[in-house]
Amino acid sequence: MPYTKLKERFIASPLNYVGGKYRLLTQLFPLFPKDINIALDLFCGGANVGINMNARKIILNDSLSELTSLYQNLQQENPQIIFNQIWHIIDKFKLSNTAKYGYGFYQCNSAKGLSSYNKEPFLALRNCYNQTKNPFYLFVLIVFAFNNQIRFNAKREFNLPCGKRDFNQNMQEKLRRFIAKLQDENITIFNKDFRDFPLEMLDSKSFVYIDPPYFLATAPYNENKAWGKQDELDLLEFLRILDSKNIRFALSNVIFHKDREHHILKEWLEKHQKFKVHYLDFHYKNCNYQTKNAESNEVLVTNY
Protein backbone atom coordinates (compact mmCIF):
# COMPACT_ATOMS: atom_id res chain seq x y z
CA MET A 1 0.00 0.00 0.00
CA PRO A 2 1.42 3.46 -0.91
CA TYR A 3 2.51 5.54 2.07
CA THR A 4 -0.20 8.18 1.45
CA LYS A 5 -2.93 5.51 1.57
CA LEU A 6 -1.34 4.04 4.70
CA LYS A 7 -1.62 7.43 6.43
CA GLU A 8 -5.30 7.67 5.51
CA ARG A 9 -6.12 4.26 6.94
CA PHE A 10 -3.91 4.06 10.05
CA ILE A 11 -2.76 6.37 12.84
CA ALA A 12 1.03 6.65 13.07
CA SER A 13 2.82 6.94 16.38
CA PRO A 14 4.82 10.13 16.97
CA LEU A 15 7.50 7.84 18.44
CA ASN A 16 9.81 6.13 15.98
CA TYR A 17 10.70 2.76 17.50
CA VAL A 18 13.30 0.74 15.61
CA GLY A 19 11.39 -2.35 14.53
CA GLY A 20 8.05 -0.52 14.73
CA LYS A 21 5.33 -2.16 12.67
CA TYR A 22 3.61 0.83 11.08
CA ARG A 23 4.60 -0.11 7.52
CA LEU A 24 3.62 -3.74 8.15
CA LEU A 25 0.09 -2.97 9.38
CA THR A 26 -1.52 -3.76 6.02
CA GLN A 27 0.02 -7.23 6.20
CA LEU A 28 -0.56 -7.84 9.90
CA PHE A 29 -4.18 -6.78 10.32
CA PRO A 30 -5.68 -9.24 7.79
CA LEU A 31 -4.03 -12.01 9.84
CA PHE A 32 -5.57 -10.85 13.14
CA PRO A 33 -8.90 -12.22 14.45
CA LYS A 34 -11.98 -10.18 13.58
CA ASP A 35 -13.99 -10.81 16.78
CA ILE A 36 -11.84 -9.33 19.56
CA ASN A 37 -13.25 -8.27 22.92
CA ILE A 38 -9.95 -7.41 24.62
CA ALA A 39 -6.86 -6.70 22.49
CA LEU A 40 -3.54 -6.61 24.34
CA ASP A 41 -0.44 -5.09 22.71
CA LEU A 42 2.00 -6.72 25.12
CA PHE A 43 5.19 -4.89 24.08
CA CYS A 44 3.50 -1.80 22.71
CA GLY A 45 6.59 0.38 22.17
CA GLY A 46 5.45 3.15 19.82
CA ALA A 47 1.95 1.58 19.91
CA ASN A 48 1.49 1.56 16.13
CA VAL A 49 -0.29 -1.80 16.33
CA GLY A 50 -2.30 -1.36 19.53
CA ILE A 51 -3.56 2.13 18.75
CA ASN A 52 -5.06 0.87 15.46
CA MET A 53 -6.67 -2.33 16.74
CA ASN A 54 -10.40 -2.90 16.42
CA ALA A 55 -11.64 -4.31 19.74
CA ARG A 56 -14.10 -3.58 22.51
CA LYS A 57 -11.17 -2.79 24.79
CA ILE A 58 -7.52 -2.16 23.95
CA ILE A 59 -4.65 -2.56 26.43
CA LEU A 60 -1.29 -0.95 25.69
CA ASN A 61 1.39 -2.54 27.86
CA ASP A 62 5.11 -1.88 28.10
CA SER A 63 7.69 -2.55 30.80
CA LEU A 64 9.34 0.86 30.25
CA SER A 65 7.70 3.04 32.90
CA GLU A 66 8.91 6.29 31.30
CA LEU A 67 7.04 5.36 28.13
CA THR A 68 3.79 4.31 29.79
CA SER A 69 3.88 7.43 31.99
CA LEU A 70 4.07 9.54 28.82
CA TYR A 71 1.11 7.70 27.31
CA GLN A 72 -0.92 8.11 30.49
CA ASN A 73 -0.29 11.86 30.48
CA LEU A 74 -1.19 12.13 26.80
CA GLN A 75 -4.37 10.20 27.53
CA GLN A 76 -5.48 12.14 30.60
CA GLU A 77 -4.62 15.75 29.75
CA ASN A 78 -6.60 18.15 27.57
CA PRO A 79 -5.03 18.19 24.08
CA GLN A 80 -4.70 21.96 24.00
CA ILE A 81 -2.92 21.94 27.36
CA ILE A 82 -0.55 19.26 26.04
CA PHE A 83 0.34 21.39 23.03
CA ASN A 84 0.72 24.47 25.21
CA GLN A 85 3.15 22.60 27.46
CA ILE A 86 5.16 21.37 24.48
CA TRP A 87 5.50 24.89 23.03
CA HIS A 88 6.39 26.23 26.49
CA ILE A 89 9.23 23.68 26.80
CA ILE A 90 10.47 24.48 23.29
CA ASP A 91 10.49 28.20 24.10
CA LYS A 92 12.00 27.69 27.56
CA PHE A 93 15.01 25.80 26.20
CA LYS A 94 15.24 28.00 23.07
CA LEU A 95 14.82 25.10 20.67
CA SER A 96 13.90 25.78 17.05
CA ASN A 97 10.33 26.39 15.86
CA THR A 98 10.40 26.12 12.07
CA ALA A 99 6.62 25.82 11.93
CA LYS A 100 6.52 29.47 12.99
CA TYR A 101 9.82 30.95 11.78
CA GLY A 102 11.06 28.64 9.00
CA TYR A 103 14.58 27.22 8.55
CA GLY A 104 16.21 30.44 7.38
CA PHE A 105 15.60 32.09 10.75
CA TYR A 106 18.00 29.55 12.28
CA GLN A 107 20.50 29.77 9.41
CA CYS A 108 19.68 26.16 8.54
CA ASN A 109 17.94 24.41 5.68
CA SER A 110 15.67 21.38 5.38
CA ALA A 111 18.31 19.20 3.73
CA LYS A 112 21.01 19.81 6.34
CA GLY A 113 18.59 19.91 9.25
CA LEU A 114 18.58 21.74 12.57
CA SER A 115 21.05 19.81 14.70
CA SER A 116 23.74 22.51 14.53
CA TYR A 117 21.30 25.02 16.05
CA ASN A 118 19.52 22.70 18.49
CA LYS A 119 22.46 20.70 19.85
CA GLU A 120 23.19 22.80 22.96
CA PRO A 121 19.56 23.47 24.00
CA PHE A 122 18.78 19.80 23.33
CA LEU A 123 21.55 18.69 25.71
CA ALA A 124 20.25 21.12 28.34
CA LEU A 125 16.76 19.67 27.98
CA ARG A 126 18.10 16.12 28.09
CA ASN A 127 19.99 16.85 31.31
CA CYS A 128 16.90 18.44 32.84
CA TYR A 129 14.68 15.50 31.85
CA ASN A 130 17.11 12.95 33.31
CA GLN A 131 16.87 14.77 36.63
CA THR A 132 13.13 15.45 36.70
CA LYS A 133 11.60 12.63 34.55
CA ASN A 134 8.91 15.08 33.40
CA PRO A 135 6.93 13.12 30.75
CA PHE A 136 6.40 16.17 28.53
CA TYR A 137 10.13 16.91 28.62
CA LEU A 138 10.54 13.34 27.37
CA PHE A 139 8.16 13.89 24.49
CA VAL A 140 9.98 17.06 23.39
CA LEU A 141 13.28 15.17 23.65
CA ILE A 142 11.91 12.48 21.35
CA VAL A 143 10.69 15.12 18.87
CA PHE A 144 14.16 16.68 18.69
CA ALA A 145 16.17 13.46 19.05
CA PHE A 146 17.87 11.46 16.34
CA ASN A 147 15.12 10.00 14.09
CA ASN A 148 12.47 10.66 16.79
CA GLN A 149 13.69 7.55 18.61
CA ILE A 150 13.69 6.67 22.30
CA ARG A 151 16.67 5.15 24.10
CA PHE A 152 17.83 4.89 27.71
CA ASN A 153 21.17 3.76 29.10
CA ALA A 154 21.71 1.35 31.99
CA LYS A 155 21.09 4.21 34.45
CA ARG A 156 17.68 4.86 32.83
CA GLU A 157 18.95 8.13 31.39
CA PHE A 158 17.78 9.25 27.96
CA ASN A 159 20.96 9.25 25.87
CA LEU A 160 20.15 9.85 22.21
CA PRO A 161 21.85 12.75 20.42
CA CYS A 162 20.08 15.68 18.78
CA GLY A 163 18.35 15.07 15.46
CA LYS A 164 17.68 17.11 12.32
CA ARG A 165 13.99 17.97 12.79
CA ASP A 166 11.74 19.81 15.24
CA PHE A 167 8.04 20.00 16.16
CA ASN A 168 7.00 20.58 12.55
CA GLN A 169 3.54 20.38 11.04
CA ASN A 170 3.86 16.68 10.27
CA MET A 171 4.79 15.82 13.86
CA GLN A 172 2.04 18.07 15.22
CA GLU A 173 -0.55 16.26 13.10
CA LYS A 174 0.78 12.86 14.18
CA LEU A 175 0.46 13.87 17.81
CA ARG A 176 -3.07 15.28 17.38
CA ARG A 177 -4.34 12.08 15.80
CA PHE A 178 -2.49 9.89 18.31
CA ILE A 179 -3.90 11.79 21.31
CA ALA A 180 -7.43 11.67 19.88
CA LYS A 181 -7.28 7.88 19.61
CA LEU A 182 -5.46 7.45 22.92
CA GLN A 183 -8.21 9.37 24.68
CA ASP A 184 -10.78 6.95 23.33
CA GLU A 185 -12.44 5.43 26.41
CA ASN A 186 -11.63 1.85 25.37
CA ILE A 187 -7.83 2.16 25.72
CA THR A 188 -6.09 1.25 28.98
CA ILE A 189 -2.35 1.55 29.68
CA PHE A 190 -0.38 -0.99 31.71
CA ASN A 191 3.23 -1.01 32.89
CA LYS A 192 4.04 -4.71 33.40
CA ASP A 193 6.80 -7.13 32.62
CA PHE A 194 5.15 -9.69 30.35
CA ARG A 195 5.79 -12.39 32.98
CA ASP A 196 3.67 -10.43 35.47
CA PHE A 197 0.73 -9.57 33.25
CA PRO A 198 -2.60 -10.63 34.88
CA LEU A 199 -3.83 -13.23 32.42
CA GLU A 200 -7.05 -13.69 34.39
CA MET A 201 -8.25 -10.55 32.56
CA LEU A 202 -8.22 -12.45 29.26
CA ASP A 203 -10.35 -15.20 27.76
CA SER A 204 -11.00 -16.98 24.46
CA LYS A 205 -12.39 -13.78 22.93
CA SER A 206 -9.19 -11.92 23.75
CA PHE A 207 -6.21 -11.44 21.48
CA VAL A 208 -2.58 -10.78 22.43
CA TYR A 209 -0.19 -9.19 19.93
CA ILE A 210 3.43 -9.78 20.89
CA ASP A 211 6.26 -7.77 19.36
CA PRO A 212 9.18 -8.31 21.76
CA PRO A 213 12.73 -7.03 21.42
CA TYR A 214 14.16 -9.28 18.72
CA PHE A 215 16.71 -11.69 20.13
CA LEU A 216 18.84 -11.44 16.98
CA ALA A 217 18.63 -7.66 16.68
CA THR A 218 20.91 -4.90 17.92
CA ALA A 219 18.31 -2.13 18.02
CA PRO A 220 18.58 0.73 20.55
CA TYR A 221 15.84 -0.79 22.74
CA ASN A 222 17.94 -3.96 23.05
CA GLU A 223 21.13 -2.28 24.28
CA ASN A 224 22.62 -2.97 27.71
CA LYS A 225 21.57 -6.62 27.34
CA ALA A 226 17.95 -5.62 27.83
CA TRP A 227 16.74 -8.86 26.21
CA GLY A 228 18.65 -12.10 26.58
CA LYS A 229 18.29 -15.83 26.05
CA GLN A 230 16.33 -16.38 29.27
CA ASP A 231 13.87 -13.65 28.31
CA GLU A 232 13.34 -15.37 24.96
CA LEU A 233 12.78 -18.74 26.63
CA ASP A 234 10.40 -17.20 29.16
CA LEU A 235 8.45 -15.58 26.35
CA LEU A 236 8.06 -18.87 24.49
CA GLU A 237 6.78 -20.46 27.68
CA PHE A 238 4.39 -17.52 28.05
CA LEU A 239 3.04 -18.30 24.58
CA ARG A 240 2.49 -21.92 25.58
CA ILE A 241 0.55 -20.76 28.65
CA LEU A 242 -1.61 -18.43 26.53
CA ASP A 243 -2.41 -21.31 24.23
CA SER A 244 -3.25 -23.63 27.13
CA LYS A 245 -5.79 -21.01 28.30
CA ASN A 246 -7.31 -20.77 24.80
CA ILE A 247 -6.13 -17.17 24.49
CA ARG A 248 -5.35 -16.21 20.91
CA PHE A 249 -1.94 -14.70 20.19
CA ALA A 250 0.22 -13.47 17.33
CA LEU A 251 3.99 -13.20 17.70
CA SER A 252 6.13 -10.99 15.47
CA ASN A 253 9.73 -12.10 15.07
CA VAL A 254 12.42 -13.09 12.59
CA ILE A 255 13.62 -16.56 11.65
CA PHE A 256 16.70 -15.17 9.91
CA HIS A 257 18.42 -11.86 10.38
CA LYS A 258 21.62 -10.79 8.61
CA ASP A 259 22.73 -14.37 7.90
CA ARG A 260 21.96 -15.48 11.46
CA GLU A 261 19.32 -18.06 12.22
CA HIS A 262 17.03 -17.82 15.23
CA HIS A 263 17.69 -21.39 16.41
CA ILE A 264 15.69 -21.04 19.64
CA LEU A 265 12.52 -19.96 17.86
CA LYS A 266 13.00 -22.40 14.97
CA GLU A 267 13.42 -25.39 17.29
CA TRP A 268 10.43 -24.29 19.39
CA LEU A 269 8.25 -24.08 16.30
CA GLU A 270 9.35 -27.56 15.24
CA LYS A 271 8.18 -28.85 18.63
CA HIS A 272 4.88 -26.95 18.43
CA GLN A 273 3.76 -27.62 14.88
CA LYS A 274 0.16 -26.72 15.72
CA PHE A 275 1.14 -23.05 15.49
CA LYS A 276 1.00 -21.33 12.11
CA VAL A 277 3.91 -19.37 10.67
CA HIS A 278 3.00 -16.54 8.29
CA TYR A 279 5.91 -15.16 6.27
CA LEU A 280 5.69 -11.40 5.75
CA ASP A 281 7.21 -9.28 3.03
CA PHE A 282 9.20 -6.69 4.88
CA HIS A 283 10.18 -4.95 1.65
CA TYR A 284 6.62 -4.97 0.28
CA LYS A 285 7.43 -7.02 -2.80
CA ASN A 286 6.31 -10.52 -3.64
CA CYS A 287 7.83 -12.50 -0.81
CA ASN A 288 9.64 -15.78 -1.28
CA TYR A 289 9.76 -17.21 2.22
CA GLN A 290 12.28 -19.85 1.14
CA THR A 291 14.92 -17.22 0.49
CA LYS A 292 16.98 -17.91 3.57
CA ASN A 293 19.72 -15.46 2.65
CA ALA A 294 17.38 -12.49 2.90
CA GLU A 295 18.58 -9.74 5.21
CA SER A 296 15.61 -10.28 7.50
CA ASN A 297 12.89 -12.90 7.35
CA GLU A 298 9.91 -11.41 9.20
CA VAL A 299 7.26 -13.84 10.45
CA LEU A 300 4.00 -13.79 12.37
CA VAL A 301 3.35 -16.88 14.51
CA THR A 302 -0.29 -17.51 15.48
CA ASN A 303 -2.16 -20.16 17.48
CA TYR A 304 -5.43 -19.78 15.59
pLDDT tens for 182-219 read 998 799 999 999 999 999 999 999 999 999 988 776 55
CATH code at 200?
A: 3.40.50.150
Domain of 207, in residue numbers: 3-63+192-215+249-302
Same domain for 163 and 197: no
CA nearest neighbour of 68 among 157, 149, 182: 182
**C-alpha distances in angstroms, 289 versus 25, 261, 293, 294, 300?**
19, 14, 10, 9, 12
Same domain for 81 and 137: yes
Domain boundary among 130, 156, 181: 181
Q: How many residues does the chain have?
A: 304
Same domain for 166 and 111: yes
Position 222 scores a pLDDT of 42
pLDDT digits (tens, 9 = 90+) for 36-51: 999 999 999 999 999 9
Position 227 scores a pLDDT of 86
Same domain for 117 and 21: no
Phi, psi of 196 (to 5 degrees): -105, 5
Residue 211 lies in a domain: yes
- pTM of this prediction exceeds 0.95: no
Same domain for 298 and 157: no
- Predicted confidence (pLDDT) at residue 251 exceeds the cutoff of 70: yes
